[in-house]
Amino acid sequence: MPVRIELTREELYQLVWEKPITYFTENYMVSYSSFKDICTINKIPLPPNGYWMKRKFGKKINKPLLPQTKSKSEIELLIRTGENSVNSNSSGKNLTINDVHMVSDWEVPKRLPKNPDPIIMEMLSDNPKNHPIVNNCRDYTKRYNYGRISVSASGKPYKRALCFLNTFIKVMKARGHYFLFCYERSYVVIEGTEIGIRMRERSKRVYETEKPGYRRSELISIGLLSFLAGEFTEKEWQETSTKTLAEKLLTIITFLEQMAKEKRKWKVENEKRLKKQAIEMKKQDEREKSQKEEIEKLRFIKQKSDLWHEANKLRVFLNACDENKDLTEEMKELVLFGYQKVNWLDPLTASNDELFINIDPYKLLEEIK
């Protein structure tokens, strides 16, 4: 069985500038084009044409720096063993990949096997199971373990898509992943991370050339397939006349698992950010609460200070009245009344007044100014 190793971007970067790509295709279970795709996905620069010849003769070489990326995940490679050597008769057809639980066959057959995966059986069924619709509304928050993978194709391309998907599903399940569905949408779940997947037949736009002026056009299917992953920003792998999707299967799965790692990493970091934000918001709320409490205390002190100053000003006036020997009887009664109310107004004495028991002295003072 092949042995899996993990390399960081920096380690693989150093290796690709020390060893040619043929070294990797001979020693690891990866094709020439797949290895280049792995390097492209992880933004690892490869040596240009003529590099090895210049190195052989000791000429000066400008080695580009490794670009910085947010990704810190490791890159998996499978070491070739005797049974899957490049010289083996099964090489290029029956690629195998070591996993914790089982070894999976990577070959995409030209025809579906007699017992395809249950998901493929559902896609072939004339009476597929429908997801529930309540009150003519679809609940896109729910997930179901049965459904169909969206394939926009017909005829032979559709059959080839089923063959590809059958192998794809088998490999993904062997690697511990599973599939969920929601109406017309389908997802592969990699370690808890959902990634939307679908397939379509490629088409080209053909314009009418016979009529002058405005030209009508229509989309014509060209019989080649595309595999798409993601929802809002989809990654697409296109089949060409020289390279089928089956040859890109390893690249697709590598990308999907890498995407899942990035999403999980973002989720962990986002949870940390949200937790930090929650702590900061709690501190801010507590700070604002304390500020309001202290502002109220200051306002209360200011009110008492104003009352005390006003009471003292009134006392000065009343004392001056007492010293005046020419006061009328009516004025003398007012002075006595004034001393009583000043004592009620003064927060330091705060004598009770039955008549003013429900009156705020500060508001009263504001009204009679």
Over the stretch 220-238, which tens digit does the pLDDT of each residue have?
888 899 999 988 788 999 9
Average pLDDT rounded to a whole number, residues 10-36: 86
Listed in sequence order, the residues at least 6 apart from 215 whose beta carbon sits closer than 8 Å to its beta carbon are 207, 208, 209
Judged against a pLDDT cut of 80, whether residue 22 lies above it is answered with yes
pTM of this prediction exceeds 0.85: no
pLDDT of residue 226: 93
Judged against a pLDDT cut of 90, whether residue 213 lies above it is answered with no
Lowest mean pLDDT among 52-61, 156-165, 308-317: 52-61
Q: Locate 242 and state its tokens.
A: 């020289």
Average pLDDT rounded to a whole number, residues 114-142: 86
Ramachandran class of 135: left when φ > 0, alpha when ψ lies in -120 to 50, beta otherwise: left
Which of 63-67, 113-117, 290-294, 310-314 is most confident? Answer: 290-294
Which of 48-52, 200-204, 243-247, 289-293 is most confident? Answer: 289-293
Taking the domains of the chain in order of start, what are their residue ranges? 1-96, 99-243, 295-367
179 — pLDDT class (breaks 50, 70, 90): very high
81 — pLDDT class (breaks 50, 70, 90): low
Average pLDDT rounded to a whole number, residues 294-311: 92
Judged against a pLDDT cut of 50, whether residue 87 lies above it is answered with no
Judged against a pLDDT cut of 70, whether residue 82 lies above it is answered with no
Strands 217-229 and 193-207 turn out to be antiparallel
Strands annotated E in the chain: 3-7, 75-79, 96-98, 103-105, 151-152, 178-182, 185-190, 193-207, 217-229, 235-238
Judged against a pLDDT cut of 60, whether residue 1 lies above it is answered with no
Instruction: Give the C-alpha separation, 51 to 61, whole Å.
Output: 7
Instruction: Give the C-alpha separation, 268 to 254, whole Å.
Output: 21
pLDDT of residue 100: 34
Instruction: Give the C-alpha separation, 336 to 331, whole Å.
Output: 9
83 — pLDDT class (breaks 50, 70, 90): very low
Q: Report percent pLDDT > 90 for the chain.
A: 28
| Coil/strand/helix, residue 180 | strand
Torsion of CA 258, 191, 172, 245, to 10 degrees: -30
Contact between 168 and 249 (Cβ < 8 Å): yes
Instruction: Give the C-alpha separation, 182 to 66, whole Å.
Output: 41
- Class of residue 27 by CB neighbours under 10 A (exposed 0-12, middle 13-18, buried 19+): middle
Q: Locate 57 and state its tokens.
A: 């003769």
Judged against a pLDDT cut of 90, whether residue 329 lies above it is answered with no
Judged against a pLDDT cut of 80, whether residue 44 lies above it is answered with yes
238-289 pLDDT, tens digit each: 998 888 888 888 889 989 998 898 888 888 899 999 999 999 999 999 999 9
Contact between 313 and 346 (Cβ < 8 Å): no
Q: Which residue has the tokens 């009679």?
A: 368
β-bridge mates for residue 227, sequence order: 199, 237
pLDDT of residue 88: 40
CA distances from 197 to 201, 207, 222, 231, 344 (A): 14, 31, 21, 8, 81
Q: Which residue has the tokens 């970091």?
A: 269
Of 73, 52, 80, give the one whose Cα is nearest residue 10.
73
Judged against a pLDDT cut of 60, whether residue 101 lies above it is answered with no
Contact between 97 and 249 (Cβ < 8 Å): no
| Coil/strand/helix, residue 137 | strand
Average pLDDT rounded to a whole number, residues 325-344: 88
Average pLDDT taken over every residue of the chain: 84
